[in-house]
Structure 1
Amino acid sequence: MLRKFKQWFDHEPPTELSFPAQPLVIKGRQFELRRMTNRDIDEALALEKAIYHDTPWDRIAFLSELRKVQRNLYLVLTANEVMVAFVGCWFGKDEAHITNIAVAPANQGQGIGEALMQVMLAKAYELGSAKMTLEVRTDNLVAQNLYHKLGFTDGAIKKGYYIATHADAMDMTKPLD
């Protein structure tokens, strides 16, 4: 943890990570990809609850993350102005870290998670990150398969990482050289 704080202070961030709203076509479906705002929090919480049942994040966590516009980028994917997915990432001097990703149950298995990860990987390359990291539940084999497909490798297991359920998490890393 100290290493991550050191990364934040060793590198002067831009005023705000830029990300203009843009159309995104995934497997022939038209979506809009834009930066998450505070107005999106209720929908993001509902999406997480539909996926995880025990919401891993609360309103305070989202509010805190959305304020850090110099280092964090949270994006929402919408279809007809309805959120179908979101992804969040913080960018340090040498590392980008996926903090959260969620795809509505009705839209899973359609390439949306992969497309969002590709967007964040492209942003990490653009910002000069040396690697991207994330944590994933050890029992979430679908997500692990996606991350493996994208070039992530397995790392250490964090016992009891998820507070609400005490489920274990696995670190995963992808070099960006």
Structure 2
Amino acid sequence: MDSPNTLAVRIEPMTVDDLPQVLEIERVAFPSPWSARAYEYELRYNDMAHYFVAWLDAWALRHPANDGVIGWLRRWVRPAPTVGAPLMVGYVGYWLMAGEAHVSTIAVRPEHRGHSYGELLLAHTLQDAARHGAHVATLEVRVSNTAAQQLYLKYGFDKVGMRKAYYSDNDEDALIMTTPPLNSGQYQEKLRRLQIALTMQLNTQMGRKLSLVSRTGA
């Protein structure tokens, strides 16, 4: 059993039962959120789709950052789940097509951003895509989302093109970013080093030892 000194995070395949929390995050993360029906179709019928969710244990919800007046206000505005119940902090999805992993979505609860959960999900996705035989990973990102671009650059994505007026809510352009070959020894070593550094960062940031359990899809 994990203790208050352990930050337990589980990354596992998304299921239909996860959709209530997925949609809760979706609605606050995106101006044009997907519907429950769209996600259910992806999970049940799209053989190219791979979706994962990240769960945070209840101990982390009682991190010292959630204490004091600020913590009280946070809990008043958004009550924490029942003690003992894990909280979904984010999710990610990609489509595997013709040897290419297209990262279609990635989102983290607003109140849990800045704690590297999105980075954990991205790293897991790249490893899972490589395991499924993807040669490269690619994605689109808003030209204004420089924070996300910096994360993708950190993981070896390069800017390779642009899609004009890609986002329907405001006609914003999208940058196309793509990785080097995922299964190359050089990239796998880069990914290994980044994951070690991320674990150390989370240990320091949260003041606890990270216990990460990752489950891949079929």
> Normalising to structure 1: TM-score of the pair?
0.76
Alignment of 1:1-177 (within 5 A): 29-52=7-30, 54-68=31-45, 70-79=47-56, 80-175=85-180, 176=182, 177=184
- Using a 3 Å threshold, how does the CA distance of structure 1 residues 70 and 59 change in structure 2: closer, same or farther? same
Instruction: Look up the equivalent residue of 2:159 and give its one-letter code.
Output: D
- Using a 3 Å threshold, how does the CA distance of structure 1 residues 156 and 115 change in structure 2: closer, same or farther? same
Alpha-carbon shift at residue 69 of structure 1 (Å): 5.6
Alpha-carbon shift at residue 113 of structure 1 (Å): 1.1
Query: Identity of paired residues, percent?
Result: 36
Q: Once structures 1 and 2 are overlaid, which stretch shifts more, 145-154 or 59-68? A: 59-68
Alpha-carbon shift at residue 153 of structure 1 (Å): 0.5
Alpha-carbon shift at residue 135 of structure 1 (Å): 0.8
- Using a 3 Å threshold, how does the CA distance of structure 1 residues 123 and 137 change in structure 2: closer, same or farther? same
Instruction: Look up the equivalent residue of 2:8 and give its one-letter code.
Output: Q
Residues in 2 aligned to 1:60 and 1:84: alpha-carbon distance in whole angstroms = 21
Q: Which runs of 5+ in 1 are unaligned?
A: 1-27
- Using a 3 Å threshold, how does the CA distance of structure 1 residues 37 and 108 change in structure 2: closer, same or farther? same
Residues in 2 aligned to 1:66 and 1:169: alpha-carbon distance in whole angstroms = 26
Q: Which runs of 5+ in 2 are unaligned?
A: 1-5, 57-84, 185-218
**8 A Cα contact 1:56 1:162, kept in partner:** no
Instruction: Look up the equivalent residue of 1:125 and give its one-letter code.
Output: A
Instruction: Look up the equivalent residue of 1:32 and give its one-letter code.
Output: R
Residues in 2 aligned to 1:106 and 1:140: alpha-carbon distance in whole angstroms = 18
Instruction: Answer with 1 or 2: which has the greater Rg.
Output: 2
Alpha-carbon shift at residue 165 of structure 1 (Å): 2.9
Structure number with greater CO (CA < 8 Å, separation at least 6) is 2
Residues in 2 aligned to 1:142 and 1:40: alpha-carbon distance in whole angstroms = 27
Residues in 1 aligned to 2:9 and 2:108: alpha-carbon distance in whole angstroms = 13
Going by fraction, where is helix more abundant, 1 or 2?
2
Residue-pair matches, total: 149
Q: SS in structure 2 opposite 1:159?
A: strand
Instruction: Look up the equivalent residue of 1:77 and give its one-letter code.
Output: A
**8 A Cα contact 1:84 1:107, kept in partner:** yes
- Using a 3 Å threshold, how does the CA distance of structure 1 residues 146 and 78 change in structure 2: closer, same or farther? same
